[in-house]
Amino acid sequence: MSGIEFSKPLAAHETPIPGVVLYDLPVHGDNRGWFKENWQREKMLALGLPDFGPVQNNISFNEKAGTTRGIHAEPWDKFVSVATGRIFGAWVDLREGPSFGAVFTAELDPSKAIFIPRGVGNAFQTLEDGTAYAYLVNDHWSADAQSQYTFLNLADETAAVPWPIPLAQAELSDKDRAHPRLADVIPMAPRRTLVLGADGQLGKALRKAYDGDASVEFAARAEFDLTDPKSVETKNWKNYSTIINAAAYTAVDKAETPEGRRAAWAVNVTAVARLARVAVEYGLTLVNVSSDYVFDGTADVHDETEEFSPLGVYGQTKAAGDAVVSVVPRHYIIRTSWVIGEGANFVRTMERLAERGIKPSVVDDQIGRLSFTQDIAAGIKHLLESNAPYGVYNLTNDGDPQSWADIAKSVYELSGHDADHVTGVSTEEYFRGKDAAPRPLHSELDLTKLRATGFDIAPQDARLRDIAGRQLPREHAAN
């Protein structure tokens, strides 16, 4: 046991390869031998190690010093350590991206361990006889998985790994000798993000937000039918890291009918439960879009901690979907209100009415903010890329809350028509004699939590001006 430092504290050290972290492990020893906690989830997570969910523990025993293995990049994450002996380790980034080809080397004995993300090439050379090299992985080995490996030659001149024992004197396999040089390596592509509901209003905005990103895959109903269990069962989820569910049943009034009720529960709850099960099983991040309708609107402002109190079937299904998603370890529930995107929406309807000279009655006792899909998409992208804490986030546009009638007046003015053509009316009066779902009267969502992540929230008035192509009149903007 010479050379091992006993009882040093558990510590993490960043390396030049993004995501590769070297750890000091406390080893406790005396005249009888030594003991260490090789993997201790709670302590490791506290140090920032990803909760990568290991499922298999492998040990490579190497009889003689000079045994050299690698460089192999596997399609899973690894936590590597030494059980006995010492190794010289070499790691080369073989992932797509700016760090491709980056090299890190270190000597490992039982007091050190290293975390290696998917796609980083792993190699080692034993420095003592009888060395046992151990690694935890978060996927099960299979012939199919092996076909996804990426390899680099141990003698690659670009990586120029400084092997302590020259490779000509080392013990290598014929397969390792035949691996390609760096110039011929096809980088390992990142796990993909799957966007569901890609042809809806939010889906179209997400297409624009991720335009040019080959790691993002878009699926409309024709490619992925949420109501069909086979869509989930036949997908190879090992190739994905994130699901963004932009699909939903949103026909608020129709949801009150027997047919609509079944459809709403099928899409907003049953299908979401299938996605949640997949996210838990494969360690994926699940993003699901929610609604102000999960509340009854009796509170003036709703924050992320408010308990559910939906009034109608649509709100009940969205609340149930939220409850399901909340048990996924890696989840973002994006709560929006009054969504405006490409296609039919309230703003376009008011513009058409204004152009036709119609003087509409518009509800004036429902208060909230608009949520433009381009900003919802940007917010989702921000939360994912900034690694914001998982959980529920309110995501609407900023600015003073307004009624639907206030917004209608703004649209009339912006389109060059008289705002006085819009008449305010109560919700009760507007829906009298109609088959309609109950609506929350107060839909303002508190944006404090979202702002704390560093997201720049655009004002709703600015987005209205963008749509109309005109400046909002100063006297109305001050209201």
Bridge partners (DSSP) listed for residue 442: 367
pLDDT at 148: 80
Position 340 scores a pLDDT of: 94
Q: 115 near 79, Cβ under 8 Å? A: yes
Same domain, 149 and 247: no
For residues 154 and 234, state if they share a domain. no
Examine the fold and report which residue of 168, 184, 200 is the final residue of a domain before the chain moves on.
184
Candidate from 378-387, 426-435, 439-448 with smallest mean pLDDT: 426-435
Q: Is the pLDDT of residue 237 over 70?
A: yes
Residues 179, 216, single domain; the answer is no
Domain count, the chain: 2
Would you state the torsion angle of the CA atoms of residues 370, 375, 377, 381, taken in this order, to the nearest 10 degrees? -140
Q: Are residues 180 and 210 in the same domain?
A: no
Catalytic residue among 23, 133, 135, 210: 135
Q: Specify the 3-state DSSP secondary structure of 97.
A: coil
347 is written with which tokens? 């703003």
Give the whole-number percent of the chain exceeding pLDDT 70. Answer: 96
d(CA 308, CA 293): 9
**Last residue in a domain, options 125, 149, 184:** 184
Global pTM? 0.85
Mean pLDDT throughout 172-189? 95
What is the mean pLDDT of the segment spanning 184-199? 95
**Over the stretch 245-288, which tens digit does the pLDDT of each residue have?**
999 999 999 999 999 999 999 999 999 999 999 999 999 999 99
Please answer whether residues 318 and 247 qualify as being in contact, where contact means their C-beta atoms are separated by less than 8 angstroms. no
Question: Residue 279 has what DSSP assignment?
Answer: H
Identity of the residue numbered 411: V
Residue 475 scores a pLDDT above 60 = no
pLDDT at 476: 41
At a CB cut-off of 8 Å and minimum separation 6, what does 373 contact? 201, 202, 204, 205, 339, 340, 341, 342
Are 176 and 281 members of one domain? no
The conformation of residue 277, written as its DSSP 8-state character, comes to H
4 is a domain residue: no
Q: 343 and 384: one domain?
A: yes
Length of the chain: 479
382 given a catalytic annotation: no
Whether the CB-CB separation of 299 and 254 falls below 8 Å is answered with no
List the one residue out of 193, 110, 200 whose CA is nearest residue 380: 193
DSSP of 350-406, one letter per residue?
A: HHHHHHTT---EEE-S-EE--EEHHHHHHHHHHHHHTTPPSEEEE---BS--EEHHH
Any domain includes 3: no
Residue 207 belongs to some domain of the structure: yes
- Contact residues for 241 (Cβ-Cβ < 8 A; gap 6+): 190, 191, 192, 193, 284, 285
Same domain, yes or no: 158 and 236: no
CATH of residue 410's domain is 3.40.50.720
Q: How confident is the model at residue 380 (pLDDT cuts 50, 70, 90)?
A: very high
DSSP-derived secondary structure for 301-367: EE-TTPPP---SHHHHHHHHHHHHHTTSSSEEEEEE-SEE-SSS-HHHHHHHHHHTT---EEE-S-E
Separation between Cα atoms, residue 236 and residue 238, nearest integer Å: 6
Q: What is the pLDDT of residues 390-410, one digit of tens each?
A: 999 999 999 999 999 999 999
Task: Report how far residue 458's alpha carbon sits from residue 443's, in angstroms, rounded to the nearest whole number.
Answer: 18
Residue 406 and residue 466 share a domain: yes
> What is the C-alpha separation between 395 and 398, in angstroms, rounded?
9
CA distance 470 to 47: 52
> What one-letter code names the amino acid at 64?
K
- Is the pLDDT at 13 greater than 50? The verdict is yes
- Are the beta carbons of 37 and 25 closer than 8 angstroms? yes
At 453 the three-state DSSP class reads coil
Question: Does 388 map to a domain?
Answer: yes
Active-site hit among 13, 23, 28, 72: 72
Q: What CATH number does the domain containing 35 carry?
A: 2.60.120.10
- 431 within a domain of the structure (yes/no): yes
Last residue of a domain, one of 163, 184, 205: 184
Distance of CA 113 to the CA centre of its chain: 28
pLDDT number for residue 35: 84
- Alpha carbons 396 and 448: distance in angstroms, whole number: 11
Do 179 and 198 have their domain in common? no
Tell me, yes or no, if 282 is annotated catalytic. no
Task: Say yes or no: 330 and 355 in one domain.
Answer: yes
Contact 150, 76 (CB under 8 A): no
Is residue 5 one of the residues assigned to a domain?
no
* Token pair belonging to 84: 């006995």
Residue at 2 is within a domain: no
Note whether 351 and 217 are same-domain residues.
yes
User: pLDDT tens digits, residue range 295-318?
Assistant: 999 999 999 999 999 999 999 999
| 176 part of a folded domain | yes
pLDDT score of 2:
52
Residues 421 and 302 reside in one and the same domain: yes
Q: 470 is in which domain, residue-wise?
A: 192-477
